[in-house]
């Protein structure tokens, strides 16, 4: 009898816990749905009106939420810009790493990845310029930092995997840190990107200079 009562009590407690967890699940779904509406609204308005001309009030209205609710998800329009681009850039980067030409060299693999990123930014140069301004020196205690970290983990990790693959074939030195090399390769690309978006070089000049710069860096890690 005592054992039966215990089983009944545990089952009842489990039912209560399940009942209590259900609202939490709905709240999380509602939160994600609102976030999706905010990102979609910001993306559309930034694309049609431009970043500078878009207001947070307009984004909130288009997402069908209050301005106060909007600021629970992003503290500023700049944070929203990074939030929009982060997901797109992660998807763009993952696609580039996932569609590498078979049997290609490291330089061709890197150029494939960076060319894909360049094409993405070229779709809307004004937004790309605004984005670069906001991510180059992100403010402290900003959600931009975590968004950028998520993006860079994908990019650094993808490049590091290319380096590791080269190490496995014996083409690259075994004593190098793949992640450190990945950061160095991206830094070369990023400096060129700043020059292009800053008007110091054309897109063609940027690409033409990028390849030999990467080749110089690769020469330092080739196995001899």
The CATH number of the domain holding residue 11 is 1.10.10.60
197 and 135: one domain? yes
28 and 66: one domain? yes
116 and 199: one domain? yes
Residue 19 has pLDDT above 60, yes or no: no
Residue 20 has pLDDT above 60, yes or no: no
Domain CATH code at residue 81: 1.10.357.10
Q: How far from the centroid of its chain's Cα atoms is residue 51's Cα?
A: 19
Output the pLDDT for position 61: 94
204 and 96: one domain? yes
> What is the count of structural domains for the chain?
2
Give me the mean pLDDT over the 187-202 stretch. 96
CA atoms of 146 and 141, how far apart (whole Å)? 10
Residue 21 has pLDDT above 70, yes or no: no
Using alpha carbons, select from 62, 61, 55 the residue that is nearest to residue 41: 62
CA atoms of 13 and 204, how far apart (whole Å)? 67
Of 47, 73, 99, the residue that ends a domain is 73
63 and 79: one domain? no
User: In sequence order, which residues have a C-beta less than 8 Å from that of residue 193 and are 6 or more positions away?
Assistant: 117, 118, 121, 132, 206
Output the pLDDT for position 179: 97
136 and 192: one domain? yes
Output the pLDDT for position 18: 43
**Selected residue with higher pLDDT from 27 and 52:** 52
**pLDDT tens track for 129-139:** 988 888 888 77
Output the pLDDT for position 144: 78
CB atoms within 10 A of CB 5: 9
143 and 197: one domain? yes
**pLDDT tens track for 140-191:** 767 778 888 999 999 999 999 999 999 999 999 999 999 999 999 999 999 9
Phi-psi region of 36 (alpha: psi -120 to 50; beta: other; left: phi over 0): alpha
Of 73, 108, 133, the residue that ends a domain is 73
Give me the mean pLDDT over the 10-25 stretch. 47
Q: Which domain holds residue 55?
A: 1-73
79 and 173: one domain? yes
Give me the mean pLDDT over the 16-36 stretch. 69
Output the pLDDT for position 85: 87
24 and 113: one domain? no
192 and 182: one domain? yes
State whether residue 222 is helix, strand or coil. Answer: strand
Using alpha carbons, select from 158, 148, 152, 93 the residue that is nearest to residue 120: 93
Let me know how long the chain is: 224
Give me the mean pLDDT over the 11-19 stretch. 43
Alpha-carbon distance values, 165 to 152, 156, 180 (Å): 20, 14, 15
**pLDDT tens track for 41-54:** 998 999 888 888 99
Helix axes 143-168, 125-136, angle to 10 degrees: 100
Q: Both ends of the chain: CA-CA distance in Å?
A: 79
**pLDDT tens track for 60-113:** 999 999 989 998 888 888 888 888 888 889 999 999 999 887 789 999 999 999
Residue 16 has pLDDT above 90, yes or no: no
150 and 62: one domain? no
Of 37, 52, 73, the residue that ends a domain is 73
Output the pLDDT for position 63: 93
40 and 83: one domain? no
**Selected residue with higher pLDDT from 141 and 13:** 141
Alpha helices in the chain (DSSP H): 2-49, 56-62, 67-73, 77-98, 106-122, 125-136, 143-168, 178-197, 203-219
User: In sequence order, which residues have a C-beta less than 8 Å from that of residue 85 and are 6 or more positions away?
Assistant: 127, 131
């Amino acid at each position: 009898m005592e054992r039966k009562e215990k089983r009944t009590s545990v089952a009842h407690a489990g039912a209560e816990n399940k009942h209590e967890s259900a609202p939490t699940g709905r709240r999380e779904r509602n939160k994600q749905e609102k976030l999706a509406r905010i990102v979609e609204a910001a993306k559309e308005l930034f694309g049609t009106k431009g970043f500078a001309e878009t207001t947070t009030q307009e984004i909130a209205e288009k997402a069908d939420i209050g301005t106060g609710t909007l600021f629970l998800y992003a503290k500023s329009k700049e944070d929203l810009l990074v939030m929009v681009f982060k997901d797109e850039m992660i998807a763009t980067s993952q696609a580039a790493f996932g569609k590498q030409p078979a049997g290609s060299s490291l330089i061709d693999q890197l150029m494939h990845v960076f060319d894909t990123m360049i094409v993405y930014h070229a779709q809307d140069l004004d937004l790309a310029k605004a984005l670069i301004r906001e991510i180059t020196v992100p403010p402290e205690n900003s959600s931009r930092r975590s968004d950028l970290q998520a993006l860079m983990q994908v990019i650094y990790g993808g490049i590091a995997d290319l380096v590791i693959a080269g190490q496995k074939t014996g083409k690259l030195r075994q004593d190098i840190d793949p992640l450190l090399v990945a950061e160095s390769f991206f830094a070369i690309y990023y400096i060129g990107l700043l020059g292009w978006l800053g008007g110091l070089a054309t897109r063609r000049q940027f690409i033409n200079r990028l390849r030999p710069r990467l080749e110089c860096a690769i020469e330092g890690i080739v196995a001899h």
